[in-house]
Chain A
């Protein structure tokens, strides 16, 4: 099914970027994610929706192995990035996270300057050879995050001095500075006012032409506005996964319909 926006923006590649098969996640004895299969396509925005506690954030964090930092969390199953299994013992999570970036719910810029915030990732991964290259990376990332014009005259000022929406865009700039292939966003707009939210949504639409974006959101309207594919999670299971248009006009599963129309919590 052709998405009109895809035609507008002249992007219609549908290669598979990340694939999950039979993924289970356990928090101690609690079986949090039950045998989930999902495909994340390249240059596409995939939304994860579902009621609170359904496991969408947990699953998102599996995609960049952030769950490794939690001791009692155990992940089984296959998750591949470009056909390489990211849970393979040979894989260093640090390298993985350079390729799969993450933006969090509450904007969390480092209490350093705007420049240092964006430059941190490239620095620790050795992506630039000298200051000139680093400057270029910083500028490019800030442009991609639609923050360059507002910040180019104050790169030395602390990142925490920006407004909420600007801070979140700074976090996005910071995440794209390492040139990731996939961008994970965990409810990026929940702490923002409607105008900042709209700016971020527009940004996500632009980022789509470069990266594969996976966004977890509480707002179904946001998922509907922003994504091309939507996955509905409920009680740890992936109930339905398909084109956003289909899910929101005529979903297959009655649980999906109940959630979308506001009939269950």
Chain B
């Protein structure tokens, strides 16, 4: 729907600038996830170090976004859709920052694992998971900038797959640890990394919900399907 801009064009420029910052932050976070996953798979310590260093930029952007958004609230008194844009910026940037942090954690743990002997098959699945999350993030950012509530709902549903992958990995790691106690340290790290990736997916889902709120004016209801059954499972033997 073509809508005219604000009569006061400065207001339009302000809103555009925070949207641009979100997209930039989103881009940096996407890159960070990709690099972290690649570092783990190719056992590249330097890449892992890059990821850790790059998190500073992401944090700085979050701070900048908070300031800008607060300024718009104070000076422009936005209402209706404009208000929802600004409120969403607060939450989306917080979510993106958490995703960035998880990415950094993955990079940190990668450094430890790289030094230990590899366990077969594990890093590939992690990589797949990370890739899936990164695609979700890309899609949700597209949904955000294009105000596409359907795409956002779709992303929200895809989180199920991430949860399922995590559950599968959880069982696999249990098996590894029971097979050979010398694997425990490495496997624990791998597990944390898998958990981080799963948490990233949850944050992307949260961003998707923000997009839906932004477009429709209502938060989606809470029946997001959760497929992570691990808190409810007993230990399995064998």
Q: Counting CB contacts under 8 A, is B24 at the interface?
A: no
Number of chain A residues close to chain B: CB under 8 A:
16
B217 close to A261 (CB less than 8 A)? no
Chain B neighbourhood of A221, CB < 8 A: 77
B80 close to A260 (CB less than 8 A)? yes
Task: Please report which residues of chain B, range 64-94, place their CB below 8 angstroms from some CB of chain A when the two chains form the complex.
Answer: 77-84
A250 close to B7 (CB less than 8 A)? no
A99 CA / B84 CA spacing, docked (Å): 42
B217 close to A263 (CB less than 8 A)? no
Given contacts A249-B217, A250-B217, contact A264 B80 (CB under 8 A): no
Q: Counting CB contacts under 8 A, is B176 at the interface?
A: no
Q: Counting CB contacts under 8 A, is B6 at the interface?
A: yes
The bracket for how many chain B residues form the interface is 10 to 19
Chain B CB within 10 Å, residue with most, of A248, A251, A262: A262
Main secondary structure of the interface of A (DSSP, over half): helix
Among candidates B3, B78, B84, residue contacting A258 with C-beta atoms closer than 8 Å: B3
Q: Counting CB contacts under 8 A, is B42 at the interface?
A: no
Given contacts A249-B217, A250-B217, contact A262 B80 (CB under 8 A): no
| Min CB gap A219→B, angstroms | 11
Chain B neighbourhood of A251, CB < 8 A: 80
B79 close to A249 (CB less than 8 A)? yes
B3 close to A249 (CB less than 8 A)? no
| Min CB gap B174→A, angstroms | 48
Q: Nearest CB to that of A257 among chain B residues? A: B80
A261 close to B80 (CB less than 8 A)? yes
A220 CA / B218 CA spacing, docked (Å): 23
A248 close to B3 (CB less than 8 A)? no
B217 close to A262 (CB less than 8 A)? no
B4 close to A248 (CB less than 8 A)? no
A209 CA / B5 CA spacing, docked (Å): 40
Q: Counting CB contacts under 8 A, is A265 at the interface?
A: yes
A23 CA / B215 CA spacing, docked (Å): 35
A249 CA / B78 CA spacing, docked (Å): 10
Among candidates B1, B7, B83, residue contacting A263 with C-beta atoms closer than 8 Å: B7
| Min CB gap A182→B, angstroms | 28
| Min CB gap A51→B, angstroms | 11
Q: Nearest CB to that of A251 among chain B residues? A: B80
B4 close to A261 (CB less than 8 A)? no
Among candidates B11, B79, B218, residue contacting A248 with C-beta atoms closer than 8 Å: B79
Q: Nearest CB to that of B78 among chain A residues? A: A261
Q: Nearest CB to that of B213 among chain A residues? A: A250
Given contacts A249-B217, A250-B217, contact A262 B81 (CB under 8 A): no
| Min CB gap A261→B, angstroms | 5
Q: Counting CB contacts under 8 A, is A224 at the interface?
A: yes
Among candidates B4, B8, B81, residue contacting A264 with C-beta atoms closer than 8 Å: B4
A262 close to B4 (CB less than 8 A)? no
22 A-B residue pairs with Cβ-Cβ distance under 8 Å, sorted by A, are A220-B79, A221-B77, A248-B79, A248-B80, A249-B79, A249-B80, A249-B83, A249-B217, A250-B80, A250-B217, A251-B80, A257-B80, A258-B3, A258-B4, A261-B6, A261-B78, A261-B79, A262-B7, A262-B8, A263-B3, A263-B4, A263-B5
Known: A249-B217, A258-B3. 14 other contacts (CB 8 A): A248-B79, A249-B79, A249-B84, A250-B80, A250-B217, A254-B1, A257-B80, A257-B81, A258-B4, A260-B80, A261-B80, A262-B7, A263-B4, A263-B7
A→B interface (CB under 8 Å): 220-221, 224, 248-251, 254, 257-258, 260-265
B→A interface (CB under 8 Å): 1, 3-8, 11, 77-84, 217-218
